[in-house]
Amino acid sequence: MIPRRELLFQLLEVMRLEDLLGRPAFNGHDQREATDIIDVAYSLAEREFLSCAALLDREEPRIEDGRVVMPEATSQALRAYGEASFGALAFSEQQGGLGLPFVLAQGCSAVFASANVSLLSYAMLTQGAARLIAEFGTEPQRRRYLVPMLAGQWFGTMCLSESHAGSSLADLRTAAQPRADGRYSIKGEKMWISGGEHELTENIVHLVLARIPGGPPGVKGVSLFIVPRRLVGSSGEITDDNGVGLIGLNHKMGWRGHVNTALSFGATGECIGELVGLEHHGLPYMFQMMNEARIAVGLCAASIACAGYRYSLDYARERRQGRAVGDRDPLAPQIPIILHADVRRMLIAQKALAEGALSLTLYCARLVDDIATATSDESRERLQLLLDLLTPIAKSWPAEFALEANKLAMQVLGGAGYTRDHPVERWYRDNRLNLIHEGTHGIHALDLLGRKVARQGGRALRVFAAKVEATVKQGLELGELEGECRALASGMRGLAMTTRRLVSSIDAGDPERGLANATLYLDAFGHIAVAWRWLAQACVARRVLLADRSAGEAERAYYEGKIATCRYFFRYELPTIAPKLTLLARLDDLTLRFRDEAF
């Protein structure tokens, strides 16, 4: 699991949670309450989530007599999570929540994800669905659905994909026929629905994208519907089944404790849905849940990498093998493998990737709170642009590079890392799915380069550059970080120049060539963003070391470790963007010119 000290550093010192709690929107809550909540999260995660992680991975969901069966530990853990109100943390008190910051809720989610990501995903989806209903639903819809969802009595899903369409939402076929009572008859099939069918809760609230006849083609003709597994009366009571059928289960290489389904709507009886918001506006509504889920996926990836790092670190301290280089005495005692140079390399690389990814995703969560509490429209718009820009990076960079960290964790354990005697092989399998969850690496690369960086004439990139510049200025003022500051400033200039070159090509009518290497662009941008977050962490650590000379040895070692890991990232990781930026600036189109027959 993520060490408590690390999470408190990120939330209290880097994200400045106390300053956030001082805002009127969070009136009545303080830092002591927040740390108490974090402590409860650790206790619950260890007792209920971590204890059954291997069991849920081993005993996957199965169908018996038409129903999905899972180990009893699944419902027990999720019931405890709901009773502790973790699903309601970041919702306002008017919505039935606790009115706490989103970044605190995400920090707690990181704890649960590092313990058992399969279980947490039920809660993450439910919270995202509830937030969408809270934002775009009618008052009767909010009244009927929010309270049981936030209490964990009902779960939620998002139903987008169809087997013939995949990520191409313009090709959706699920239909919504208007009824005389103002509701809609839903008919179609959905694929890859996480949490789509189970007996864990009284009801499942599906959010379904479908087409109303006569709407425009493509994504502009998609509407959004609340489609409960069991119908809900006007007072919130559950009535009849709602024609949602289970076609089958998908068995994935990771997240095995989380049921994934193919569902039918309207095949086993009439399926009734309630329109959310306006007709043909479903995709913009759904994007709120999708973007929240994207940050959550990145957070899960970072959390799993942190778990792998800590486990392999403990293993390296205990496992004895070999002797120091130059010691040729076969009778000399073996040494802990942490003393071997290559093991140390793998450990610090994990720390750099995992804690860098964690800091980036928590920063995005902090932006959600900053947007919600902004005191002016101009400030809110600027922050939203920054969050929109960082969202594809916060989802994809951790998914890609946290997986690399988990690979190194397995390598530290050697042959034992590939066995089920240790959890590192499970974490690797779990993390591999995050490159697909909520959009592939390539899709987010196209979104970043093709849409986000060019929006409003590149304003979002300028907002990001200003944030980077402010952190560089802080680092220069603190001293001892001058090399890192210069390297980040140089990398930011290179990214800006390459971006202008690519956007100009796209605007000039050559989008295929300009976007041909979008994934390289995302990776390079991600390295800049994570280097920025590492410099921010190092600045905090440097400031503490300068201010508190009386800090104990363990505390000084912790902060010095932050600065050393920052230096590692800048020496070993950040320089890898140079060849990427060079290739991008040349508008290399080898992949486009590669003949089909040559494959």
* Interval 51-63: pLDDT, tens: 999 999 999 999 9
SS3 (DSSP) at 194: strand
Q: What is the pLDDT of residues 443-499, one digit of tens each?
A: 999 999 999 999 999 999 999 999 999 999 999 999 899 999 999 999 999 999 999
Mean pLDDT within 231-259:
95
d(CA 207, CA 104): 26
pLDDT band at 434 (very low <50, low <70, confident <90, very high): very high
Residue with tokens 């008052």: 139
Q: What is the pLDDT of residue 170?
A: 80
218, two tokens: 């493509």
pLDDT band at 35 (very low <50, low <70, confident <90, very high): very high
pLDDT band at 503 (very low <50, low <70, confident <90, very high): very high
Nearest to 106 by CA among 294, 356, 310, 350: 294
Mean pLDDT within 12-32:
94
Q: What is the pLDDT of residue 85?
A: 96
Q: What is the pLDDT of residue 17?
A: 97
d(CA 410, CA 417): 4
Strand 62-64 relative to strand 222-228: parallel, antiparallel, unpaired? unpaired
Q: What is the rounded radius of gyration, in angstroms, for the C-alpha atoms of the chain?
A: 25
Amino acid sitting at position 340: H
Q: What is the pLDDT of residue 111?
A: 98
Q: What is the pLDDT of residue 489?
A: 98
Percent of the residues in the chain that have a pLDDT greater than 90, as a whole number = 92
d(CA 25, CA 23): 6
d(CA 182, CA 537): 53
Q: To 5 degrees, how large is the angle CA 301–CA 291–CA 155?
A: 80
Question: What is the set of active-site residues?
Answer: 438
Q: Answer whether residue 559 shows pLDDT above 90.
A: yes
Strand 272-275 relative to strand 244-249: parallel, antiparallel, unpaired? unpaired
pLDDT band at 550 (very low <50, low <70, confident <90, very high): confident
> What residues pair up with 275 in beta bridges, in sequence order?
225
d(CA 535, CA 541): 10
pLDDT band at 326 (very low <50, low <70, confident <90, very high): confident
Q: Answer whether residue 366 shows pLDDT above 80.
A: yes
Q: Answer whether residue 549 shows pLDDT above 90.
A: no
Rounded mean pLDDT of the chain?
Answer: 95
Q: What is the pLDDT of residue 299?
A: 98
Specify the long-range contacts of residues 214-222, CB closer than 8 Å, at least 24 apart.
Answer: 215/279, 215/280, 216/280, 217/170, 218/170, 219/169, 219/170, 219/283, 220/280, 221/280, 222/169, 222/172, 222/280, 222/282, 222/283
Q: What is the pLDDT of residues 112-152, one digit of tens each?
A: 999 999 999 999 999 999 999 999 999 999 999 999 999 99
pLDDT band at 313 (very low <50, low <70, confident <90, very high): very high
CA dihedral 99, 102, 108, 109 (to 10 degrees): 120
Cα 415 to Cα 192, 304, 314, 349, distances in angstroms: 34, 20, 16, 20
H helix or E strand, kind and range, residue 575: none
Nearest to 197 by CA among 75, 77, 63: 63
Q: What is the pLDDT of residue 251?
A: 96
Burial class (CB in 10 A: 0-12, 13-18, 19+), 163: exposed
d(CA 369, CA 293): 16
Q: Please spell the DSSP secondary structure of 439-476, one letter per residue.
A: S-HHHHHHHIIIIITTGGGGHHHHHHHHHHHHHHHHHH
pLDDT band at 323 (very low <50, low <70, confident <90, very high): very high
Mean pLDDT within 256-268:
96
Q: Answer whether residue 548 shows pLDDT above 80.
A: no
Mean pLDDT within 345-359:
98
Sign of CA dihedral 35, 38, 40, 46: negative
